[in-house]
Structures are given as structure tokens and as C-alpha cells.
């Protein structure tokens, strides 16, 4: 799998949602989310996983499992399937 850099906005969102263990979450997102999807789609999938996690490591694990089975399901579950840029608004929201 190719290495895909995480965006500054995504890293900030991880710190916001998981202040107790951001490095664990960042590592999981980078290693578990499918980098072969490319940077833009990969970022949407990682954002969807984060949104579905709601700041819970247990929910993060479930969302990562779902993404491994079919990345499209996490996009639908997070509400990111129809709009190619809606995840960017979610990332910026406090």
C-alpha cells in the first residue's frame, strides 16, 4: 500500500475527537484506510471513519472494519457519499 499523507485539517480533527490518544488514531487511519484510493477519495474515507467514530475508539474500530469491507458504506453512513466536498466542511466544524 502506498503511503498517503494525512491533511493538516484531518490531523486537527483527530486531536479534537481523540485528545486522549491522537497518535493511535492517526496511525490507524493511515495504516487501515485504503491508500490505493488516492489522496482525495482516501481523505473522504478517513473523514467518514472519523465522523462515524464520534470520538470513541470502539466505534472507530467498527468504522474501520466497515471501511475495509466496503469503503462506500462509510461514505454513505457518514453522509459523505453525495457531495464530493462535504467532508471538508465537517473537518472545519468545531
Looking at 1-94, which runs of residues are DSSP E strands?
Answer: none
Q: Which of 34, 33, 24 is nearest to 56 (CA)?
A: 24
Report whether 45 contacts 53 (CB < 8 A): no
Residue 3 has pLDDT above 90, yes or no: no
Residue 59: the pLDDT is 98
Q: Which of 45, 57, 46 is nearest to 21 (CA)?
A: 57
| pLDDT tens digit sequence for 35-78 | 677 788 999 999 999 999 999 999 999 999 999 999 999 999 99
Domain residue spans of the chain: 41-94
Report whether 28 contacts 49 (CB < 8 A): no
pTM for this predicted structure: 0.90
Amino acid at each position: 500500500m502506498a503511503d498517503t499523507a494525512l491533511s493538516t485539517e484531518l490531523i486537527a480533527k483527530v486531536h479534537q475527537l481523540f485528545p486522549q490518544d491522537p497518535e493511535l488514531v492517526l496511525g490507524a487511519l493511515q495504516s487501515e484506510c485504503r491508500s490505493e484510493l488516492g489522496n482525495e477519495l482516501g481523505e473522504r474515507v478517513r473523514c467518514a471513519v472519523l465522523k462515524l467514530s464520534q470520538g470513541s475508539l470502539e466505534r472507530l474500530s467498527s468504522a474501520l472494519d466497515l471501511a475495509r469491507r466496503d469503503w462506500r458504506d462509510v461514505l454513505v453512513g457518514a453522509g459523505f457519499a453525495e457531495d464530493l466536498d462535504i467532508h471538508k466542511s465537517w473537518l472545519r466544524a468545531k
